[in-house]
Structure 1
Amino acid sequence: MRILIAVLLSVCSVAASAAEIVAGPMPGHSTMRQVKVWVQTDEPALVQLRYRADEGEDWLTSEPEATNSEKANTATVLATGLEPGLHYEYEVLVDDVVQPAEHTQRFVTQPLWQWREDPPDFRFALGSCAYINQPEYDRPGEPYGGDYRIFDAIADAEPAFMLWLGDNVYYREADWNSKSGMYARFSHTRGHEALSRLVTGTHHYATWDDHDFGPNNSDRGYAMREAALEVFNAFWANPDFSAAGTGGVTNYFEWHDVGFFLLDNRYFRQANYRVSGDRTILGEDQVEWLIDALKTSNASFKFVVMGGQFLNSAESSESYINLAPGERRELLDRIEAERIPGVVFLTGDRHHSVLLKMDRYRTYPLHEWTVSPLTAGSHNPGDEAMQYDVDGSLYTERNFGMIEVTGPRNERVASLILHNSDGEEVWRGEIRQQDLQP
């Protein structure tokens, strides 16, 4: 009898101490044959996925990934052996124990449409500047973050994926001088209940800006930039980073017939107000990679994604034209010289949303849609010189964007739709593939 009680107590003790999920699971990069899924546990553990396309089919199981305390117990698990164009249900096993699912757990593979049919229609969400309050570390006074219901509004819209445009978390003074502080900030944001349904319910991609890279307006001189890269990589299931081959979070992915070129505007940039040396934001290697990648791409739309604005003509603060006018001019000239069609910029940072349109001589106009903020404080640019802003597109309250890509091959249309924190439409625009030809 005593032996039985001892065994039962031992089993109960093991069950009570078993690791659990504290954030996620979150689907990330999706291809036709494999998908990444991110997860965070409360203590070190082995994490696996069990998944199937249809109920009744045999379950497939991923290779296990270990979470460890050095990386805040995060892991990205790879689901392989998949088939194109399917929805998969999945379960997460932590130390061989199936974890209860708070929300529906599904991921999708991209369809094999090439040479068979027109590219499928789809829509994706986008936004930047997500501030989650934590009073013990925030500045005194009125909370800077709010309207967290916006994350459920995005989830309700059922986008194919969410594109995070930077400032996806906000490092505070207590965070950015230590790796543990950065891990703690990301863990606090990712584990917030307001984000849970959106995180689990759709795929996610991200680039960064200064507040999820380091201090305000930080640059390549930031001493912790390699630690920041490690932390960012630990919390996003992006395609592999450093597409340019020289560090940073530069990468690329496709969704159906659309290409997304995710740029890094922090890791390579010079100090903002240096008076000697090259004035650069992207750096030579990243610029060369971008031109090569754009030139090679056959995408209907080529969305160039960056944390800060590119086209804005205001020569002030952190605007591209103020900090690196030569590099900005080089990019504009080379996109034109290479006769690259379909280029549209997607940016964040500014705490207001606006569509910019730069008309160009003897070629198509360049568009840039800035979408910001999600839950951080909003900002009205007032009399700032924005000679390219489209009438009626400026919105100065918290918001998120949705882009719907529709239509037959070679006649695709990108509908830009801005929503407020409640998910209500507040502005709409349209960009046609046929209007973006050299």
Structure 2
Amino acid sequence: MCSIGKLIDTTPCPGVQWTATFLLQPALEKGREVTEEGINRRTLLAGGVAAALTATAPATAAAAEGSAAPAAPEPAAGPLVGHVDTGTARIWARPGLDPTRYTRWRCTYRTGQDSPRRITTELSAANDHTLLADLDGLRPDTTYEFRLEPLSSAPGFTPLTGSFTTSPAPEQPAVVTMGMGSCAPSVPDRIWTRVLDEGCDSFVMLGDTPYVDTGDLAVARRKHREFLVQPEIARMIRTMPVWATWDDHDFGGNDQHGDFGGKVATRTAFVDHRANATFGHGADGSPLTTRGEGNGIYTSFRRGPLEVFLLDPRWFSRTEASWADPAKPTCLGRVQWDWLRERLLASTAPFKALATGMIWDDKQSSESDDWGTYAHEKEAILDFIAGERIPGCFLIGGDIHVSRALDYGPRVGYDLWQFIVSPMHGSTIPSLNVPSPYLKHSAVEPHVFLKLVADTTVPDPTLTATWINRDGTRFFEVRRTATQMGHPAP
């Protein structure tokens, strides 16, 4: 990542530069107008979604900068706030202006005695003319507002604006409210507004977000753009950090595994349109922070008391012998498994989510994309957690168009829960709500997301999971304490 005010290299399209500007204020200071060069906060915050849905500038504006015929303007996608931690943030956008002509961008911010800051970045032709702006030097638990706009004249262009709040410091008592969801359509839907109304400060897309169902790169890119410009989604992704993984339909198609022939194209489209901190690993096995060629898309992040391990069970599955049982095919692959072990051992978060798009059970259907198919690796993961006495772990899944909560008892030395949340769209599959001796709650309901609240401001930190639909109806809730998710004293 680059320091504030420095060039950020994202495989640039030569000669094309953009500047991201961000505004900063303490998390508790709200509503104060800030004026700089005739621009106030009301102006800054207006029009972000409008820019995502309308053409961003007339062609004559681009023509003013050169004699060549200008590229036709396209609808802007984004901005999307991606990975945010205590001191850094990653912002994504596809501005839509002619990428060969609009080169300089300006931003302004003011709060308290802080000086204005600027970040310059470049559009990447290799990544569908999108940009990433990596901000660092930020303060924990602080709200920032940012703005993307060209310095050169672009009549009709609406600045791309947004905001985010950095993570509380790990040792700071805090309450984090994170939304999670899977299986979402590329149509307007008020479920995304409900996520905001419920006070979520962050969100995790668990896959089938969107439905891509192709190995064609151009089509996959178009479907990602169509998803991100939906008005309610666009509003959410510019106002909170968003992390993402994939499931079968954004990996390539229904019930696809790592032998899918179009996975390089779908991975390219995914990294083109997301802003995770890392995207799987490179050729040397190291986590990949850039958007070039790589393997998988797995990543992890910590937000206050909650650390999330977004695993990739698609890319590597069936591509090599399993690290857990060489006689069987792998799901995670050796490199991802080594990464997961290292990250779990290093984690000090009170609560740790192991999240995949697919569920951690056998779906008991004709499909094989579930952890029941790779039970040898699932059991090895749980054995590792138990053997290393790693506290606070729970499982997250999506995919099946049914929401469920399962308690497997003291499998890892304390009661292990799985939270399944699906779908955010309107289609359910009642037949996948199968009986299980571990099942505690279920709901065959459409338009559902999961609200996770991790609270370390109380003597015994709590994790509360609530399944909510777009109308605000609560279907069920699970509440656990850190003591209940830890090991008894020897």
TM-score (norm 2): 0.75
Would the aligned equivalents of 2:311 and 2:354 in 1 still touch at CA under 8 Å?
yes
Q: Map 1:130-169 to 2 at 5 A.
A: 130-132=184-186, 148-169=189-210
Would the aligned equivalents of 2:87 and 2:137 in 1 still touch at CA under 8 Å?
yes
State the partner residue of 2:121: 64
State the partner residue of 2:144: 88
State the partner residue of 2:423: 373
1:59–1:340 distance in 2 versus 1, CA, 3 Å: same
State the partner residue of 1:225: 263
Give the counterpart of 2:452 among 382, 403, 406: 403
State the partner residue of 1:214: 252
State the partner residue of 2:469: 420
Partners in 2 of 1:252 and 1:73 — Cα distance? 26
State the partner residue of 1:247: 295
The amino acid of 1:396's aligned partner reads E
1:186–1:192 distance in 2 versus 1, CA, 3 Å: same
State the partner residue of 2:134: 78
Partners in 2 of 1:389 and 1:81 — Cα distance? 45
Partners in 2 of 1:30 and 1:264 — Cα distance? 20
Would the aligned equivalents of 1:406 and 1:414 in 2 still touch at CA under 8 Å?
yes
1:99-144 per-residue CA deviation (whole Å, 9 max, x = no partner) reads 5358x62122223363xxx4211201110001226xxxxxxxxxxx
Partners in 2 of 1:284 and 1:49 — Cα distance? 45
State the partner residue of 1:195: 233
Shift of 1:423: 2.9
Would the aligned equivalents of 1:153 and 1:423 in 2 still touch at CA under 8 Å?
yes
State the partner residue of 2:43: none
Find out whether 1:28 has 2:82 as its counterpart.
Answer: yes
Find out whether 1:119 has 2:168 as its counterpart.
Answer: no
1:210-265 per-residue CA deviation (whole Å, 9 max, x = no partner) reads 11111211111112222222211111111112266472111111101221111001
Shift of 1:377: 1.6
1:60-91 per-residue CA deviation (whole Å, 9 max, x = no partner) reads 111222143x5332211112332333211221
Choose 206-215 or 224-233, whichever is displaced more: 224-233
Would the aligned equivalents of 2:183 and 2:399 in 1 still touch at CA under 8 Å?
yes
Would the aligned equivalents of 2:362 and 2:373 in 1 still touch at CA under 8 Å?
no
Partners in 1 of 2:360 and 2:168 — Cα distance? 33
Choose 319-328 or 205-214, whichever is displaced more: 319-328
1:356–1:95 distance in 2 versus 1, CA, 3 Å: farther
Choose 29-38 or 79-88, whichever is displaced more: 79-88
Partners in 2 of 1:11 and 1:319 — Cα distance? 50
1:345–1:100 distance in 2 versus 1, CA, 3 Å: same
Shift of 1:409: 7.0
1:21–1:93 distance in 2 versus 1, CA, 3 Å: farther
Shift of 1:429: 1.7
Report the secondary structure of 2:430's partner residue.
coil
Shift of 1:376: 5.0
1:71–1:10 distance in 2 versus 1, CA, 3 Å: closer
Give the count of matched residue pairs. Answer: 406
Shift of 1:427: 2.2
Would the aligned equivalents of 1:22 and 1:40 in 2 still touch at CA under 8 Å?
yes
Report the secondary structure of 1:332's partner residue.
helix
Partners in 1 of 2:77 and 2:128 — Cα distance? 11
1:63–1:318 distance in 2 versus 1, CA, 3 Å: same
Partners in 1 of 2:158 and 2:364 — Cα distance? 51
Find out whether 1:265 has 2:304 as its counterpart.
Answer: no
Partners in 2 of 1:67 and 1:394 — Cα distance? 43
Structure 1: gaps (5+ residues): 1-8, 134-146
1:437–1:97 distance in 2 versus 1, CA, 3 Å: farther
1:385–1:208 distance in 2 versus 1, CA, 3 Å: same
Partners in 1 of 2:479 and 2:410 — Cα distance? 18
1:284-322 per-residue CA deviation (whole Å, 9 max, x = no partner) reads 332232222212211100111111111458486336454
Would the aligned equivalents of 1:150 and 1:423 in 2 still touch at CA under 8 Å?
no
Partners in 2 of 1:427 and 1:53 — Cα distance? 44
State the partner residue of 2:42: none
1:369–1:63 distance in 2 versus 1, CA, 3 Å: same
Shift of 1:46: 4.4
Choose 377-386 or 118-127, whichever is displaced more: 377-386
1:354-392 per-residue CA deviation (whole Å, 9 max, x = no partner) reads 1111013682111110111112522213662332211x4
1:427–1:67 distance in 2 versus 1, CA, 3 Å: same
Find out whether 1:309 has 2:359 as its counterpart.
Answer: yes
Structure 2: gaps (5+ residues): 1-58, 287-293, 320-325
The amino acid of 1:71's aligned partner reads N
Partners in 2 of 1:253 and 1:241 — Cα distance? 12
Shift of 1:408: 3.3
Shift of 1:48: 5.1
Partners in 2 of 1:38 and 1:372 — Cα distance? 26
Partners in 2 of 1:250 and 1:232 — Cα distance? 12
State the partner residue of 2:45: none
Identity rate, percent? 23
